[in-house]
Amino acid sequence: MTELATELEVDGSRIMVPACPEWSVHDLFAHVAGIATDLAAGRPPDGDSQPWVDRQIAERRNRPLGEIVEEWRESAEVFEPMIAGSPRVFWGLTYDTVVHEHDLRNAIDRPGERDSAGVRLAARLGLKLVKHDLARLGLGAFRTTVDGEEMLVGEGEPGLSLSTSSFECLRLLGSRRTLDEVRAADFRGDLDGYLPGILHMEPPVRSLGE
């Protein structure tokens, strides 16, 4: 993401991000930098994380993108060892960053890195979110075949299966596909019944065109 930021003109930071329709590219970087800075400084969210995120973006709204990227780089010196030391606590932030990398790539029309180690890891981390939601909703297991590797997510008899690539798994289950695109994917079983358990956010109304 920081490499891509260096290629943007000043106006490029104001491009809106279709996957995060209320955010510009500038806001997206403010989000990832703000999380790293606050957690590295011992300032986690207190309850609902949305006001925490909103504040981070608002505080950086008038700062140049290059300055925000540099802040992220400096915070990473503390934040990345925190993730490595407590992956069970911070895995969701690794997932979040990889998702936003591809939100950025989509916004500035620079697709790539879709078969990276980060995407492969994030796709599997995303299935942890699904496991939690399936249990919360009392749904059975979800069988996935991702890049040829079969995994059973959740407990009980599987009522839905999906065969796909890591990148599509990441984007499908990360609510980056319209409902029509979800229905067109290689699902087998009770898709309608499982939708609340496999999509943890509302799907977009318009296709991202990926």
Q: Does residue 138 share a domain with residue 103?
A: no
Q: What pLDDT sits at residue 166?
A: 98
Q: What pLDDT sits at residue 12?
A: 87
Q: Domain of 25?
A: 2-107
pLDDT band at 75 (very low <50, low <70, confident <90, very high): very high
Q: What pLDDT sits at residue 9?
A: 81
Which SS3 state, helix, strand or coil, does residue 92 take? helix
CB 186 within 8 A of CB 162: yes
Q: What pLDDT sits at residue 47?
A: 86
In angstroms, the CA 92 to CA 156 distance is 25
Which helix (H) or strand (E) element contains residue 192? Answer: helix 191-198
Q: Does residue 92 share a domain with residue 8?
A: yes
Task: Note the pLDDT tens digit of each residue in 14-42.
Answer: 999 999 999 999 999 999 999 999 999 99
Quickly tell me which residue has 């399936």 as its tokens.
134
Domain termination residue (choose one: 50, 78, 107): 107
Q: Is 206 domain-assigned?
A: no
Q: What pLDDT sits at residue 164?
A: 98
C-alpha gyration radius of the chain: 18
Average pLDDT over residues 98-106: 98
27-37 as b/e: b if 16+ CB within 10 A = bbbbbbbbbbb
Supply the CATH number for residue 192's domain.
3.30.1050.10
In angstroms, the CA 158 to CA 108 distance is 39
pLDDT band at 200 (very low <50, low <70, confident <90, very high): confident
Q: Does residue 96 share a domain with residue 50?
A: yes
Q: What pLDDT sits at residue 106?
A: 98
Per this entry, what is the length of the chain?
210
Residues 6+ apart with CB under 8 A from 179: 203
Q: Does residue 128 share a domain with residue 103?
A: no
| DSSP structural state of residue 140 | -
| DSSP structural state of residue 190 | -
Domain termination residue (choose one: 59, 86, 107): 107
Q: Is 208 domain-assigned?
A: no
Task: Note the pLDDT tens digit of each residue in 107-139.
Answer: 999 999 999 999 999 999 999 999 999 999 999
Q: Does residue 102 share a domain with residue 9?
A: yes
CB 9 within 8 A of CB 25: no
Pairing of strands 142-146, 160-164: parallel
Q: What pLDDT sits at residue 11?
A: 82
Which SS3 state, helix, strand or coil, does residue 150 take? strand
Q: What pLDDT sits at residue 129?
A: 94
Residues 6+ apart with CB under 8 A from 41: none
Query: CA nearest 156: which of 131, 124, 174?
Result: 131
Q: Is 210 domain-assigned?
A: no
In angstroms, the CA 34 to CA 20 distance is 16
Pairing of strands 160-164, 187-189: antiparallel
Q: Is 203 domain-assigned?
A: no
To the nearest whole number, what is the mean pLDDT of the chain?
Answer: 96
Q: Does residue 92 share a domain with residue 35?
A: yes
Q: Structurally, how many domains does the chain consist of?
A: 2
